[in-house]
Amino acid sequence: MSKRAVFAAGLTVFAILVGSESIAAVRAARQATPQWSVTVGLGPAPTAGAGSEQAREGDRPSPPPSPSPSPSPGPSPGPAASPGRAASPGPAASPGPASSPSPRPTVDQELLQRFTGSARVALTFDDGPHPQWTPQVLDELRAAGVKAMFCLIGTQVRRYPALVARMVREGHSLCNHSWGHELNLGLMAPAEIRANLLRTNKEIRKAVPGVPIGHFRHPGGAWTPAAVEVASELDMVSLDWHVDPRDWDKPTKEEILHRIQAQTRPGSIILLHDGGGDRSATVAVLPAALTELRQRHGITLLGASLSP
């Protein structure tokens, strides 16, 4: 055999050996790759799972499984879990309604006066006396020759007794509207309701001795059986209303007039205000409203007055 042939044969053998090792390496790599992929694939899965559980535990108020104390000096982990669950959306819905105020007791509507008992309508003014608005209301009533009932707040009477005296002197009647406009008065104990009304009557009669006070109007019309009963025991009629033009809500005088026109019918008791806020629109609407009401229905006075 020639040297060239021997060299060629040697190269062939060497290529075969190298090729076998390469093939073996490739096969080994192929076999190792799935194992490595599986290892990598399974590795993060438990980690992610643990992370999710930690996140859920973080959403809960209870501490991590470790029983070691919390770094803060606050409550121990055990008690913290209960308040947290109680504050969760599910249970929180249950205490919500329970903590809301109970429905106001039902009042026999027949015990509340909303109409005059005749075809004529009546005007009532609440929340006075007020040093700015009450004199202007009184001026308009006097100019129109109309008498009205004033539902008085005890604290306001104490401040402005001369205005109460003027009301009576000009032929208007008076009504008890509580001592301090307590909207929750009717939910108090009967003894507290009585004390409130008596205190108010006493203050009114300090301004005008012997003046009749035959009506009580609950602040906000938030009547309860207890309030009606106490008023009755004190010989006062529970005075409600039929027409509320919402002059307390700062409407324009045109809106007040429109509401009075739309709501009033024969015998309506009309609610207006001379105190409790800016009553400029109420004062401004009176000339037109008084003229129309007198022409359409006639106006009468609720209750009794010391003056003719």
Q: Which residues are marked as active site?
A: 126, 273
How many Å apart are CA 72 and CA 168, to the nearest integer?
Answer: 69
Q: What is the dihedral of CA 109, 115, 116, 117, to 10 degrees?
A: -70
* Residue corresponding to tokens 């024969």: 266
How many Å apart are CA 173 and CA 197, to the nearest integer?
Answer: 17
Residue 201's H or E segment, with its range, is helix 190-207
Note whether 275 and 133 are within 8 A (CB): yes
**How many other CB atoms are found less than 10 A from the CB of residue 180?**
14
> Exposed, middle or buried, 11 (CB in 10 Å: 0-12/13-18/19+)?
exposed
How many Å apart are CA 73 and CA 271, to the nearest integer?
Answer: 59
Say which DSSP state 173 is in.
E
